[in-house]
Structure 1
Amino acid sequence: MGRITLEVLEKLFLSGYPLNKWCWPDIFEFLLDGGAQKQHFVLTRTINHRLTRKYPLKLSYQLAFLKKIINKLEENQVEVIDQFYEAYTKLLCQAETERDYRHFPLNCAFVSIKESSKLVSEGTTGLHVWQASMALAEWCLKNKDTYLKGRNILELGSGIGLTGLACILGTKDILKEVSQECMTQKKKTGLCCLNHEPSLFSPKCFTFSDCHPSVLKLLCQNVKHNLVGDDNGSNHRILELEDGKTKRIIFNTDHYGTEVRIIKLPWEDVNEGCEEAVTAIGDVDFILAADVVYDELLFTSLVGSLRRLLSKTNTKGEFPSAIIACTMRNKETIEAFLDQLCSSGLKIRIEHAVKPQHFVYETDPPVFIYNVTCLET
């Protein structure tokens, strides 16, 4: 392939990214250039990938991918391997579902996210992965040494969990290396080198938060199958969601030394200083939020929450900071939000854009990332 390698094709396909005109010439060139083996390579890295089989992508997306390849091969009188036809026939027999998966590769892990196929579903936009959450996750991974390691992190409006899961799993490659070194040392000396805090390599605590019952339910599912599926790394406790009513803390797990929680957190509760909400949040070093700035009716509670959280020192006597990723769909809406932040006594700094490495997303409209702090810092 030219610009599109098999690794890049796998990354694009598993993330459900639309394969545009610039992708297909390289794919076709690779397939038309020779034999059944290359067709097997493509099929193995896409439709027959282990993640696609276990957590299927949107059915129409998979069908369109296969149909385009089969048609192109047939048009050029290239013999199509039976596995392509078998996969296509098998998919045709399946019914389209309302929720499908997308998979995002990190260094040594994938984040697999189940989402709604609709942008608005069950009265909320929170059941879908949005551009800003990927941009924020990319920024966090780029700055993980400064903002993630050993920190107590609270994410506001977590949605279905992409940003937080990327933050938690983004240090898994380091932890695996350390674990292997530890096992080697233990065999030689009987001592383990992991007596220090595991949070030196990852967040000490990551708290997801949202308030919509359907979002919380799907968020629990995504966190569970990404983190709890690893029996060596996690012990978990899940408090069931019943009729949309939950206790404040609805999920708790430990993942390689990082405490992971999901809490029900309406911003009004934080803004009004609800004692139960404050207790559930606990100590905070760092706040994240992506795509929470879209409705001016929510600004009062959101800005009030940020002001309360950012003006409260943590156990180290430090003021937290917040990183907020905003998609510039409407310039006036963003400016109104920033003005309200300033009027509330908060300081804003625009962060430098991060070149995408792990995630593929559109840059039009652009995503702006703001660093928000208390003026006292």
Structure 2
Amino acid sequence: MAEPDLVLRFQRRFLAARQLRSFPWPVRGCGRPGSGAGAAAGRGLALFRAFQELEQHLRASPDSSLLLDVLHKTVLHPLCVKYPPSSKYRQCFLTQLIRKHEATAAEPLDELYETLAELLREEECPACYKSYILPTGESVTLSESLAIVSGGTTGLVTWDAALHLAEWAVENSVLFTNRTILELGCGVGFTGIAICKTCRPKRYIFSDCHPCVLHQLTQNILLNGFTLGPDSAPCIQGESQGQGAAGTSCQVPQVMVAELDWGSVTQRQLLDLQPDVIIAADVIYDPEIIVALIGMLEKLSTCRADGKSPEAYIASTIRNPDTYHLFQAQLDKAGIRWQLLPAHSSSTLLSDVQPNLSVLQLFL
């Protein structure tokens, strides 16, 4: 009998296309142990253990139902069929499944080989889809770039801090319910779409400044069943809008996309937004943008008509402690108080515990 928890772990990580090249197994073209950085290798450790667990189950039972269940919940899952990860990614994953099956000396499974043969005939596309299963069971599907840097920006992929912030938001949904949210540097839109699907905000403002990012962001918002503009329908049903909003709450927020350049935005532009809450993920990775970000936060502190300052939360992956501490020092210099919020005890979206992820609450 298939192990539901094991299969679910495979499904969540596969649909989100967690990096296979860092997994510690010798698959040609997919990388070898130690071939990536320590953090990258760590991201593959949980799924490596899952593959070990899968192999133990396969050796313990000659029944192939477990492997077929994994196949149908990953490569042949309806989300993957309609919105597939990269062809190479699926090929590497399926090749490893076949090797695990062959190691058990069981009878060949034609469906595995037939599926691989179909994948080998596919042409690779420059973009791919990733589908993230939220803690609530709902999904967010995004079109993302295959390259970390594409079109002169790193904003066309989803970073771990965005996943971390989304999980934190779901756990603290009361902070977002029936409120206006402004996201700074939102990239391709994962965090905001996840919040719109689970936290019932009144209005959500996605903002970025790169033209390629804004274009891809708009496509992803529509893909997930939301309508841009202030006159959104009270409830989206069916699949008339891209992927559709199956499983989302009937309270669909007003959604808009704003082009905001932190260095040139005016106070007048910000007065039109009137955010109750400001969030951002992975926006303090470069010392050169910290001054502009601090200036943006200072302008936002006085942008509300009622005179109240918005609440603010910033999630970060701490790659360089000096840059992170520089941001904190600049907050202190600007008179913006801050506090570090408690870390997650577990993670659904991330494949392992990430000790270098944090969420700061700012008091503007």
Q: TM-score range by the shorter chain?
A: 0.7 to 0.9
Aligned to 1:95: 123
3-state DSSP class of the match of 1:267?
coil
Q: What is the distance in 1 between the residues matched to 2:308 and 2:116?
A: 57
Match of 1:293 among 276, 284, 292: 284
Letter in 1 for 2:84: P
Distance change >3 Å, CA 14–CA 286, structure 1 → 2: same
| TM-score (structure 1 length as normaliser) | 0.79
Q: Contact 1:100–1:117 at 8 Å: present in 2 too?
A: yes
Aligned to 2:155: 126
Deviates more, 1:159-168 or 1:94-103: 94-103
Q: Contact 1:134–1:361 at 8 Å: present in 2 too?
A: no
Shift of 1:108: 4.0
Structure 1 residue 80 and structure 2 residue 69: aligned? no
Aligned to 2:52: 25
Deviates more, 1:23-32 or 1:98-107: 23-32
Shift of 1:2: 7.2
Shift of 1:156: 0.1
Q: What is the distance in 1 between the residues matched to 2:302 and 2:353?
A: 33
1:200-257 residue CA offsets vs partner (Å, 9 max, x unmatched) = xx1010100001011111111111111249998349xxxxxxxxxxxxxxxxxx9734
Match of 1:43 among 71, 94, 106: 71
Q: How does 1:127-166 map to 2 (within 5 A)?
A: 127-145=156-174, 147-166=175-194
Aligned to 1:186: none
Q: What is the distance in 1 between the residues matched to 2:303 and 2:191?
A: 24
Q: Contact 1:131–1:362 at 8 Å: present in 2 too?
A: no
Match of 1:223 among 221, 224, 245: 221
1:166-221 residue CA offsets vs partner (Å, 9 max, x unmatched) = 111124xxxxxxxxxxxxxxxxxxxxxxxxxxxxxx10101000010111111111
Shift of 1:159: 0.3
Aligned to 2:264: 269
Q: How does 1:1-377 map to 2 (within 5 A)?
A: 5-17=6-18, 18=20, 20-32=47-59, 33-106=61-134, 107-145=136-174, 147-171=175-199, 202-228=200-226, 233-234=235-236, 256-270=251-265, 272-273=266-267, 275=268, 277-280=269-272, 282-315=273-306, 317-364=307-354, 366-374=356-364
1:2-44 residue CA offsets vs partner (Å, 9 max, x unmatched) = 7952222211211112454212111223344232433321111
Q: What is the distance in 2 between the residues matched to 1:30 and 1:112?
A: 31
Letter in 1 for 2:263: E
Shift of 1:263: 1.0
Instruction: Figure out how many residues of one structure are paired with residues of the other and give that number.
Output: 320
Distance change >3 Å, CA 26–CA 216, structure 1 → 2: same
Shift of 1:364: 4.8
Letter in 2 for 1:128: V
Shift of 1:138: 0.9
Aligned to 1:193: none
Q: What is the distance in 2 between the residues matched to 1:216 and 1:226?
A: 16
Letter in 2 for 1:125: T
- 5+ residue gaps in structure 2? 21-43, 238-248
Q: Contact 2:226–2:255 at 8 Å: present in 1 too?
A: no
Q: Contact 2:131–2:139 at 8 Å: present in 1 too?
A: yes
Q: Contact 1:154–1:206 at 8 Å: present in 2 too?
A: yes
Shift of 1:309: 0.6
Q: What is the distance in 2 between the residues matched to 1:207 and 1:313?
A: 15
Please tell me the root mean square deviation across aligned C-alpha atoms, in Å: 2.4
Letter in 2 for 1:21: F
Distance change >3 Å, CA 206–CA 300, structure 1 → 2: same
Q: Contact 1:324–1:369 at 8 Å: present in 2 too?
A: yes
- 5+ residue gaps in structure 1? 172-201, 236-253
Letter in 2 for 1:213: P
Distance change >3 Å, CA 361–CA 373, structure 1 → 2: farther
Q: Contact 1:227–1:234 at 8 Å: present in 2 too?
A: yes
Shift of 1:311: 3.4
3-state DSSP class of the match of 2:84?
coil
Q: What is the distance in 2 between the residues matched to 1:222 and 1:307?
A: 30
